[in-house]
Chain A
Amino acid sequence: MKGSHPLHRVAIVGVAATEMARQLDTTSAEISLRAALAALGDAGLTSADVDGVAARWPGPGGTVFQPGSADWAEVFGRPLRWVCDTYPQGVPGALDAAAAIAAGLCETAVVFGGQAGVMGGATVADYTRPDNEFIACWGSLTAAQFALVAQVYRHRFTPDPEKMAAIAAAIRNAGHANPAAVMTGRGPFTAADVLASPMVAEPFRLLDLCLATEGAAAIVLTTAELARDLPQPPVAILGGGSEWHRQQYVNPPRYDEVWGLGADAARRAFELAELSPQDVNVFELYDINTYEVVRQFEMLGLCGEGEGADYLADAGIGIDGRHPLNTDGGLLSYSHIGWGGPTLKIVEAARQLRGTAGPGQVPDTEIALVTGAGSGAQYHNVMILGRG
């Protein structure tokens, strides 16, 4: 483990992802529980070891607490010492759990979630239809909110459409090669394929945009001390941070306010890790759309504003590139599972650090970057992981 910061006394010791599909014949509660138990099994632990939970309770039934982490005490059959009901998933859930463990509020926490039996075939997911009265009345959707940001970028910098499309194609080709991906075997894709796909909300075409699928993901965190006695090589949390810019999907996001969203969180995270973005071996970035990928490289300072598409074309984002990116196929092609999507990024980063990521494995991964959310959502978060 690294230095003396409290976060460095915590490790990720178990990870799991269930099967992923456009629709699964089970419930969100069952698939979430399966992911949690699988991650505990991966960690060499059982539900009896859990005293902290960050997980939405999808029902049916439950208490007045929302999103409902405390409800899981009922299913785990034991009282919990810590729950997280702010954002019980992904980077914020993991950072909150790590802080709670470091502070001694609990010892072993599981962060998990997903969805099943809720996606109705061709319709868009509920959570992509903001219900605010100043958004819904115009027929907006989350893709359109992000598009309003991307359009200003496009207007100012006119990125090469081929290079932008090549980013989506590369991520989708990682998914094509990943047997666990919803879109496994559906490629390979070229930039031309992306540019030929139907327009959804300018500048986004269908293949620029993430999936809305079913499945669940989970991670288990405990003290670095306990981690030494567990079967998996521990994954260290080297740094992290979050930014909550505004209410989500209420006002339209403004390019001039949100294109750099996450820069402050990233700066704090890298300072804590005593690393720089150039040290990252694998990027598991929140890829709700192609422009968001470019935005995050610019936000990290790896290239200047407006330079992302050219920069990534030169650097390479495949396994053998300078910046291997979304090695499981990402939200574009592996899976995006509602309340489990952000956690999938941590699962893949942990596997990369363990060296068990399968066809997407980048040799000798020592530092992985995980991000969540993005400009259109008006919040962003980052976490740097390393070998424990």
Chain B
Amino acid sequence: MDGPTDEVEDRSLRPLTGEFWAAVDRGELVRPVCGDCGRNFFVPQFACPQCQSTNWIYVPSSGRGRVYSHTTVHRPPTPAFDAPYVLADVDIDEGWHLLTWIVDCEPDHVAIDMAVTVRFVTGPDGHRLPAFTPDVVAR
């Protein structure tokens, strides 16, 4: 798809996570940071998982991290996704992690501990998504 259509939901209106998606739409990666204990966490929760404070805000991320784990999906859950694609759990430098894709890289070249940086791509529903690309492209 070329971009969001009229039918695409406005993700910025979602409770708790709207600000994250609004930032993604601007090409910015943010994460919750606790105002009391400083903990970075993800996914967004109403309270900090370390100190249970509700005093947290979204703070811009460096968008840099390393691959904690990855798997190449050959049989997607729905036909909307074009297999193969690389799912990964990426550890972000600030101390949080998220499920994402590794793009711009042959699936066989993705490796645990590979350094990666955020790159925004368009998902099958027309929304932008924060994928990651290797810092040094192995070919």
Contact = CB atoms under 8 A, between A and B. Distances in A.
B77 A141 contact: yes
A254 B89 CA distance: 8
Interface in A133-169: 133-135, 137-141, 144, 147-149, 151-152, 155
A202 interface: yes
Given A133-B14, A144-B87, A251 B74 contact: no
Given A128-B77, A137-B129, A148-B87, A252 B69 contact: yes
B43 A202 contact: no
Given A139-B77, A140-B77, A251-B43, A152 B87 contact: no
22 contacts: A129-B78, A134-B98, A137-B125, A137-B127, A137-B129, A138-B99, A138-B123, A139-B73, A139-B124, A140-B73, A140-B77, A151-B71, A155-B69, A199-B74, A201-B72, A201-B75, A202-B72, A251-B43, A251-B99, A252-B99, A254-B89, A254-B97
A124 interface: yes
B32 to A, nearest CB: 13
Interface of A: 124, 128-129, 132-135, 137-141, 144, 147-149, 151-152, 155, 198-203, 250-252, 254-255
A138 B123 CA distance: 8
Nearest to B131: A138
Contacts of B88: 148
Contacts of A147: 71, 87
A201 B75 CA distance: 7
The 6 closest A-B pairs by CB, nearest first: A139-B81, A147-B71, A252-B89, A141-B77, A148-B69, A129-B77
Interface string B56-75: 00000000000011111111
Nearest to A139: B81
Nearest to A124: B77
Contacts of A135: 99
Given A133-B14, A200-B75, A201-B75, A138 B69 contact: no
Nearest to B113: A155
B12 interface: no
B85 interface: yes
Given A129-B78, A200-B74, A140 B99 contact: yes
Contacts of A199: 72, 74
Given A148-B89, A252-B69, A254-B89, A138 B100 contact: yes
Interface residues of B, number: 32
Nearest to B16: A133
Contacts of A129: 77-78
A258 to B, nearest CB: 11
A349 to B, nearest CB: 32
Contact of B69 (A137, A140, A255): A255
Contacts of A255: 69
B117 interface: no
A148 to B, nearest CB: 4
B77 A155 contact: no
Contacts of A144: 71, 73, 87
A147 to B, nearest CB: 4
B49 to A, nearest CB: 9
Given A133-B14, A139-B85, A144-B87, A151 B69 contact: yes
Contacts of A203: 71
Nearest to B21: A133
A254 B75 contact: no
Q: Pick from A128, A129, A139, A141 the residue with the most CB of B within 10 Å.
A: A139
B116 to A, nearest CB: 15
A304 B120 CA distance: 42
Contacts of A134: 17, 42-43, 98-99
B80 interface: yes
B129 A138 contact: yes
